[in-house]
Amino acid sequence: MADFWTDPKINWIDNDGIGYGDLNRIEQNTKALRDATFRKLQGFGYSVDNAVVGQDGVITITPGSCYSENGVPIRMSAPFVKNLTTWAPGNGATYGGMAAAVTVAANTWYYIFVIMKPSDGSTEIMLDDNPAGTNVVSGIYTEKRFIHSFKTRAAGGDGSFDLVQMYAVGDSVFINPSAMYADRGKKITGVNDSYYLIELSAGAEGFALPARDVLAKLNVVTDKGVRAIGIISEYGDFFTVPTNFTNGGILTGEFVFNSIVPQTAGYDHGVSCDCDIMVPANRKINIAWMEDGSGPFLTLAVRGYVDDRAI
3-state secondary structure string, the chain?
A: CCCCCCCCCCCCCCCCCCCHHHHHHHHHHHHHHHHHCCCCCEECCEEEECCCCCCCCEEEECCEEEECCCCCEEEECCCEEEEEEECCCCCCCCCEEECCCCCCCCCCEEEEEEEECCCCCCEEEEEECCCCCCCCCCCCCCEEEEEEEEEEEEECCCCCEEECCEEEECCEEEECHHHHCCCCCEEECCCCCECEEEECECHHHCECCCCCCEEEEEEEEECCCEEEEEEEECHHHCCCCCCECEECCEECCCEEEECCCCCECCECCCCEEEEEEEECCCCEEEEEEEECCCCCCEEEEEEEEECCCCC
pLDDT tens, the chain, 311 aa long: 457 888 888 888 877 788 888 888 889 999 998 988 898 999 999 999 999 999 999 999 999 999 999 999 999 999 999 999 999 999 999 999 999 999 999 999 999 999 999 999 999 999 999 999 999 998 899 999 999 999 999 999 999 999 999 999 999 999 999 998 888 888 888 888 999 999 999 888 999 999 999 999 999 988 877 888 999 999 999 999 999 999 998 999 999 998 766 555 545 667 788 999 999 999 999 999 888 766 778 889 999 999 999 98
Asked, for residue 77, whether it belongs to a domain, the answer is: yes
Residue 243 lies in a domain: yes
Global confidence as pTM: 0.91
Q: Which of 151, 170, 189 is the last residue of a domain?
A: 170
CATH number at residue 276: 2.60.120
pLDDT at 108: 96
Report d(CA 282, CA 199) in Å as an integer. 8
Same domain, 294 and 207: yes
Assess if residue 149 is contained within a domain.
yes
Are 220 and 273 part of one and the same domain?
yes
pLDDT at residue number 1: 47
Is the domain of 132 the same as that of 192? no
Residue 308: what pLDDT? 96
Which domain, by its residues, includes 137?
42-170
Same domain, 281 and 264: yes
Counting the structural domains of the chain, the total is 2
Q: Are residues 152 and 245 in the same domain?
A: no
Residue 253 inside a domain? The answer is: yes
Based on the fold, state whether residues 46 and 165 are members of the same structural domain: yes
